[in-house]
Amino acid sequence: MKKTYVITGSTSGIGHALLKAFVNDNTVFAGYRNEKYASVLEKTGAIPFYIDMERKDTVAQAAAFIKSKTDKIDTLINVAGCVVAGVMEKIPVDSVRKQFEVNTFSHLDFTQRLLTLLNDGKVINISSMSSFGIFPFVAPYCASKRALDILFNAMSVESGLKVVSVKPGVIATPLWDKSVELNKDAIKNCSGYDKEMKYMVANARKNGKEGLNVNKVVDLIVKIDSMQNPKPSYTVGYDAKVAEIVSKLPQSLINTLIKQGIKTKISSVK
Ligand SMILES: NC(=O)c1ccc[n+]([C@@H]2O[C@H](COP(=O)([O-])OP(=O)(O)OC[C@H]3O[C@@H](n4cnc5c(N)ncnc54)[C@H](OP(=O)(O)O)[C@@H]3O)[C@@H](O)[C@H]2O)c1
């Protein structure tokens, strides 16, 4: 049966791979923030809609556009996201606000606006293993994903809406190179943490090439989408499973393990 999907962040990485998985047999509303992608999305057979997660007016307009075209959504997949990184002593608080706007608040706003169309539908959020909250130097990202999970889980408990949090580990997508570009000022403004930042940049470059194939996430989401009663949360990848286990240890032990891990990693940075 033909279903209706709404996917934000459908121009790249996980979102674009999801779009390709669903578009042939279904109606897919595909979100973009850069005009150059509108025609690319249209050519796939999707219905493109403009949304910039940093701008509330466009979130409202995007929801209104979708409501004008359909009265039912089977699955809303909140994918759009970015990584704000840096040292917590120095990071501008406005960068942290931006992180929450893009990864958390906009998704809540967009979902609330579409709730009337989601009666028997599902919301699948692309969270992250960072939601387990154990990684330094990307604390804004971790916090935004944890907050996303908490807010949507409560919505599910309160309302009965089916909400699933998918928490991938490292996936090979353009996100990593984009994160180096997005955080270039924070990386520059890191005196006292130069080695840590050099390691983070090298690691991001490596993750973008050597992470898990994006189809692992797509396969899981296709499976979750077909389930009548999916679990509230799924991890993808060995690293995500390890992060989940580590997050259940006492905080003092987590901190010791992470500090030791960072020390080992940066010992080889020149
Ligand atoms: N890659 C990983 O290792 C990994 C792991 C765990 C979780 N995730 C999560 O998976 C989701 C997808 O990431 P990805 O790896 O597929 O990265 P990606 O290739 O960079 O895709 C991110 C998507 O979000 C869009 N986007 C970013 N900021 C936006 C904004 N302000 N407004 C509207 N759209 C915006 C991007 O648009 P543009 O094409 O215009 O940039 C792109 O379509 C993110 O939520 C990310 O946090 C990724």
Domain boundaries, the chain: 4-266
- Helices 13-22 and 214-226: angle between axes, nearest 10 degrees: 50
Nearest C-alpha to atom 45 of ligand 1 is from which residue?
A: 81
DSSP string, 55-78: -HHHHHHHHHHHHHH-S--SEEEE
What are the two backbone dihedrals, phi and then psi, of residue 26, each rounded to the nearest 5 degrees? Answer: -140, 175
| CATH top-level class of 4-266 | alpha beta
Question: What is the per-residue pLDDT for 189?
Answer: 85
Place 270 in a pLDDT band, splitting at 50, 70 and 90. confident
Which residue's alpha carbon is nearest to atom 42 within ligand 1?
A: 9
Strands 162-168 and 233-236: parallel
Question: Which residue is closest in CA terms to ligand 1's atom 33?
Answer: 52
The pTM of the full predicted model, rounded to 2 decimals, is: 0.98
Ligand 1 centroid–CA 195 distance in Å is 27
Query: Whole-angstrom Cα distance, residue 211 to residue 119?
Result: 36
Q: Each residue of 99-148: pLDDT tens digit?
A: 999 999 999 999 999 999 999 999 999 999 999 999 999 999 999 999 99
CA of 135 to the centre of ligand 1 (A): 19
Cβ(86) to ligand 1 under 6 A? no
Q: For ligand 1, atom 14, name the residue with the nearest CA.
A: 13
| Cα–Cα distance, 79 to 57 (Å, whole number) | 19
pLDDT in tens, 25-64: 999 999 999 999 999 999 999 999 999 999 999 999 999 9
Q: SS3 of 209, please? A: helix
Cβ atoms of 58 and 52 closer than 8 Å: yes
Which one-letter amino acid corresponds to residue 153?
Answer: N
Cα distances from 189 to residues 91, 180, 199, 266, 268, in angstroms, run 9, 13, 15, 18, 22
Does residue 15's CB lie within 6 angstroms of at least one atom of ligand 1? yes
| Residue 211 CB–ligand 1 contact under 6 Å | yes
CA 110 – CA 62 distance, rounded (Å): 8
Cα(28)–Cα(31) distance, rounded to whole angstroms?
10
d(CA 84, CA 237): 22
Atom nearest to 103 CA in ligand 1: 45
Distance between CA 3 and CA 256 in Å, rounded?
Answer: 48
d(CA 207, CA 170): 6
Q: What is the mean pLDDT of residues 80-97?
A: 96
Identify the residue whose C-alpha is closest to ligand 1 atom 37.
Answer: 9
**41 within ligand 1 shell (Cβ under 6 A):** no
Give me the percent of the chain exceeding a pLDDT of 90.
97
Distance from residue 157's CA to the centre of ligand 1 (Å)? 27
What pLDDT does residue 190 have? 87
How far apart CA 152 and CA 149 sit, in angstroms, is: 5
For ligand 1, mutation pick of 110, 166, 175 (most atoms within 8 Å of CB): 175
Q: Whose CA is nearest to atom 11 of ligand 1?
A: 79
Classified as helix, coil or strand, 49 is strand
Whole-number mean pLDDT of the chain? Answer: 97
Q: Where are the beta strands (DSSP E) in 105-161?
A: 122-126
State the distance from the centre of ligand 1 to the C-alpha of 96, rounded, in angstroms: 17
Looking at residues 203-216, what average pLDDT do you find? 98
What whole-number distance in Å separates Cα of residue 17 and Cα of residue 21? 6
Structural contact between residues 78 and 163, judged by C-beta atoms closer than 8 angstroms? no
Please state the atom number of ligand 1 nearest to the C-alpha of residue 102. 31
